[in-house]
Amino acid sequence: MNQETSINTGKKKDPFFYPSEEILQNAHVRDYDALYRESMEDPDTFWSKAASELEWFSPWTKTLDWDPETFTGRWFPGGTTNIAYNALDRHVAAGFGNKVALIWAGDGQEERILTYRQLLDAVERLCHGFRSLGLEKGDRVTIFLPPTPEQVISMLACARMGLVHSVVFSGFSEAALKSRMEDAQPRLLITADAGFRRGKEIPLLKTARAARQGILSIEHSVVVRRKEPEAPLGPGEIPFDRLQEDNRKKGPFPPFPAGTDDPLFILYTSGTTGKPKGIVHVQPGYMVGTYLTTRWVFDIRDKDVYFCVADPGWITGHSYIVYGPLLNRATILLAEGTPDWPDPGRWWRLIEKYRVTVFYSTPTAVRLQMRHGQHWPANHDLSSLRLLGSVGEPINPEAWLWFRKVTGDRLPIMDTWWQTETGMHMITPLPVTPLIPGSATKPFPGVEIDVVDKNGQPVPVGESGLVVIRKPWPAMFRTVFKDPGRYRQYWTEVPGVYFSGDSARKDHHGHFHLIGRIDDVIKVAGHRLGTAEVESALVSHPAVAEAAVIGKPDPLKGESLKAFVILRQGHKPDSEEDLQALQKRIKHHVREELGAIAQPDEVEITDWLPKTRSGKIMRRVLRARELGLPEGDTSTLED
């Protein structure tokens, strides 16, 4: 389907879906074009005005201190604030302490509800507990928890105290958790005895104990006991509930006054080398960026119930489950589990039960729900919804149209493009933006983005090129943990700009159409996986000598993983049955090393991999041959 010509809105074909008159009259932003022009003409005033809507302990002396030599952006220098204070105390002081902050829906249909006052109390008690363990400003804390209230409380407590949290997705394996802790060197590990998914228990504590071995920086583990509240723990392990209960009567805990250089968190994301990158975000700039994007993109109102389906272990959960919505005094719905268990109506039931107004989903989830059929959403009252969102990868027009149709055929869809590194939405509609299915539309105000060639020159309309960001933005990451050279590469690969690693094209309306990664990072169900990390897991199998991984288009997950492996001598299977058994063992091995998300969908045994003369595997050649595409320049291919 040609998304620009085949949507018939009446007398003539029109690519756009237009906002309703109600949205045009009541949205926080009513004139995108005028606002964007203002933000480009005077970005300092634009971002200063946004920052002034939050509370500061001391004022900033300038909006941005930018060093073009080191590519360091120090936002709001001289000012001090605290993101947890702005997310909680500010609202309680304004009289909203009894408003619901967090609704939690467990995998087994459990429910917990916390008001802003209750959430603040839980955070302050945990801060007192952290202090009793000797933790101080700047110490790192690894959080290996399922999506539960304790995960949110732990993140906010770290932020309040000036600790640096490193949240690790609870679906990761022992090896993946260990590699991240080896890099972060945390003093504290927070985990749970178990997580639950599809009614099955996931032994998180067993994984955490094994991963902790040999990491001498960890002094204690704090454990959320979900299975048995009174279960005994091992040496150095402290019950989460006891740490809070012991500090119930200690009263308020003063928030740490965070300045422009004070880190908020490290979040590890896959790269093109085997080692995950520790992306570092700092408090003030990240706070302003997530606050404003949440407010304007989702047009947040005081009565909103906001449901984002991501896990707080990923950047979407950081920015648009925890920090952005709480800064805007929203009521958050946090759901453990999957959209299709105990049946495919699970998320639709939650929307109906809690009268969700803003629903932020993923293309993978939408395609999964498409497969189950529209009778599932049709069986539920979704009339409370007023806004939809999509995140994680480009959403194809067919999924976009289905998502809109089954939710009432009237709601705007905010198709958002951004990255772990950007911290906030960069290309996104606002509710007043005319929408084209499959397009993330235009840059957020204050953000200057372009599509260029490798020399940094803009490409013609309709042609694909590299997505770059021309100016600093508040929620930009500060560095790659322990690897400033890796940070610098983002700013030097394309001269004078930040290079995202993604490709896109702009249409004649000025709308961006994202295409995907141009490097060797594969997006599976919205999650970034480095080919080198998966290949490293493959070659750690005793039968595998070499390996290469490619992404293939997948109608459900966006991309699926296919592995090509060369076997070690003596491991060649004798029969088709033996071959299938070996392929199954190799898949399972990767699952054990990195987690279920990284398990290859296919494993092909081969005697040859295309390599350059310097020994680099040419994955693009593998992918081209697999998909029947042109191979391009193969002049460096080894004979």
Task: Quick: pLDDT tens for 521-532.
Answer: 788 888 867 777
d(CA 306, CA 333): 6
Nearest to 258 by CA among 56, 66, 87, 89: 56
Write out the DSSP string of 600-636.
-SEEEE-S---BBTTS-B-HHHHHHHHHT------TT
Cβ contacts of residue 188 below 8 Å, gap of 6+?
A: 130, 133, 135, 139, 141, 142, 218, 219, 220, 221, 222
Place of tokens 């919804």: 385
262's tokens: 């004070």
Q: What is the pLDDT of residue 472?
A: 98
Q: CB count, 10 Å around CB of 392?
A: 22
d(CA 432, CA 430): 5
Single-letter amino acid, residue 617 = I
End-to-end CA distance of the chain: 41
User: Is residue 100 within 8 Å of residue 117, measured between CB atoms?
Assistant: no
Residue 481 located in a structural domain? no
d(CA 340, CA 366): 11
Q: CB count, 10 Å around CB of 570?
A: 6
Spell out, as residue ranges, where the chain has pLDDT lower than 50: 1-12, 272-273, 613-614, 635-636
**pTM recorded for the entire structure:** 0.86
Q: CB count, 10 Å around CB of 94?
A: 11
DSSP run (H or E) holding 209: helix 204-212
Domain with 583, as residue range(s), is 521-627
Characterise 152 by phi-psi region: left (phi > 0), alpha (psi -120 to 50), beta (else): alpha
User: Is residue 474 within 8 Å of residue 43, measured between CB atoms?
Assistant: no
User: Is residue 341 within 8 Å of residue 370, measured between CB atoms?
Assistant: no
Using alpha carbons, list the distances in angstroms from residue 418 to 44, 312, 376, 469, 477: 22, 16, 30, 11, 12
Q: What is the pLDDT of residue 516?
A: 75
- Helical segments of 106-203, H only: 116-132, 149-161, 174-184
- Give the DSSP letter of residue 94: I
Q: What is the CATH number of the domain that holds 560?
A: 3.30.300.30
Q: What is the pLDDT of residue 7?
A: 33
Q: What is the pLDDT of residue 633?
A: 55
User: Is residue 219 within 8 Å of residue 235, measured between CB atoms?
Assistant: no
428's tokens: 């996104």
What residues form DSSP beta bridges with 100? 115
* E-assigned strand segments in 418-533: 449-452, 464-469, 479-480, 498-506, 512-517, 521-524, 527-530
Q: CB count, 10 Å around CB of 17?
A: 20
Nearest to 558 by CA among 586, 528, 534: 528
Strand, coil or helix: what is 72? strand
Residue 606 located in a structural domain? yes
Residue 145 located in a structural domain? no
Cβ contacts of residue 344 below 8 Å, gap of 6+?
A: 368, 369, 372, 373, 376
Q: What is the pLDDT of residue 397?
A: 87
Q: What is the four-CA torsion angle of 459, 465, 470, 473, rounded to 10 degrees?
A: 140
CA 202 from chain centre, in angstroms, equals 22
Nearest to 50 by CA among 336, 257, 293, 254: 293
Single-letter amino acid, residue 10 = G
d(CA 298, CA 63): 25
Residue 407 located in a structural domain? no
Q: What angle do CA 135, 140, 146 make, to 5 degrees?
A: 105
Residue 88 located in a structural domain? no
Count of domains for the chain = 1
Q: What is the pLDDT of residue 271?
A: 55
Residue 348 located in a structural domain? no
User: Is residue 75 within 8 Å of residue 260, measured between CB atoms?
Assistant: yes
d(CA 338, CA 138): 35
- Give the DSSP letter of residue 556: T
Q: What is the pLDDT of residue 532?
A: 72
d(CA 304, CA 100): 11
Strand, coil or helix: what is 599? coil
Residue 550 located in a structural domain? yes
- Name the CA radius of gyration of the chain, rounded: 24
Single-letter amino acid, residue 147 = P
Any idea how long the chain is? Answer: 639
Q: What is the four-CA torsion angle of 597, 601, 607, 608, rounded to 10 degrees?
A: -70
Residue 374 located in a structural domain? no
d(CA 169, CA 143): 9
